[in-house]
Amino acid sequence: MCMRLLFMGTPAFAVPSLRELIDSPHEVIGVVTQPDRPKGRGLRPAPPPVKTVAGEYGLPVIQPDQLDAPEFLRTLRECQAEVFVVVAFSILPAPVLSIPPRGTINLHASLLPKYRGAAPIPWAIINGETETGVTTFFIEQRVDTGQILLQRSTPIGPDETAGELHDRLATMGATLVRETVDRIAAGQARPVSQTGSPSRAPRLTKADGRIDWTQPAGVIHNRIRGMNPYPVAFTTWQDRTLRLLRSRRRPERPDGGGRAGEVVALDAEGVLVIQTGAGCLGLVELQPEGRRRMRADEFVHGYRLRPGDILGNDE
């Protein structure tokens, strides 16, 4: 059985799910997405990724300024969609949720109830999780609390960044969304209540990226990769801000270590070794403020960083 679907989403994470549904037997009758936003140096209005894909397939696009506006609610009712499919969109008001007769489903990039909130992928990495996944559920008024329809888990690589995990989960999630819609259409959906202790994943700020070199190497490594590509971990050196993009764990120093944040050496692999509060961390790729991103060895040779220099000494 095929259903009429209205898709709601905005960023790149939602694109694989939209394409998967367009390629399915179900009918995607339109797309709801955020208004175009200024982007780039010229601050010219740019369409969201979901709008661009909708245009490729000639799908009607709705871009409301207010989700509870009477004209928007009237448009939704006139669509006569059986299910609203939501992937990386805004919090929906109750009048919207009451419209589709077979419910509103959402894709979330965690194993709910863990990491409810806006940034589940970065926080899972920052907190050192070795496993995460994707969840589909029926949306309820409280954010990310609805009954679960399907879940899939996946390991997190020890050096995997939030951006890399984001892309994998977007693809995994698209498959899960398709399977969820198929089950609802066939009358085979079996929603279950969320169980276990919930955790939060609030939106990241720039301040969350500041590195505290007194922390253990593993904790700092997780923060660097969890903050890549946004908002990016950072430290300082000689009044410069250094954005830290990639890192690796490194062996302990034979002498037991020096000061937290101390530059130890540029090793044979071109990795910049830094002493932390417990163990050493290797910086692989970084970006000085206002400059291009570069390998650690390029930075050391170009800026004359020396062993004994201290990172973050003005923090």
User: What pLDDT is stored for residue 254 in this prediction?
Assistant: 63
Task: Render each residue's pLDDT in the chain as its tens digit; 315 residues.
Answer: 899 999 999 999 999 999 999 999 999 999 999 999 998 778 889 999 999 999 999 999 999 999 999 999 999 999 999 999 999 999 999 999 999 999 999 999 999 999 999 999 999 999 999 999 999 999 999 999 999 999 999 999 999 999 999 999 999 999 999 999 999 999 999 999 999 999 999 999 999 999 999 999 999 999 999 999 999 999 999 989 999 999 999 887 766 668 999 999 999 899 999 999 999 999 999 999 999 999 999 999 999 999 999 999 765
CATH class of the domain whose range is 4-185: alpha beta
* Whole-structure pTM value: 0.95
Options 3.10.25.10, 3.40.50.460, 1.10.287.110, 1.10.3720.10; which CATH number does 206-303 get? 3.10.25.10
Residue in 235, 218, 223, 226 with CA at minimum distance from that of residue 296:
235
Domain ranges of the chain: 4-185, 206-303
Q: Answer for the pair 227, 208: CB distance below 8 angstroms, yes or no.
A: yes
**Phi, psi for 218 (deg, rounded to 5):** -65, -40
Q: So what's the pLDDT on residue 43?
A: 84
DSSP 209-265: GB--TTSBHHHHHHHHHHTTTTT-EEEEETTEEEEEEEEEEEPPPTT---STTBEEE
Q: What are phi and psi of 266, to 5 degrees?
A: -100, 115
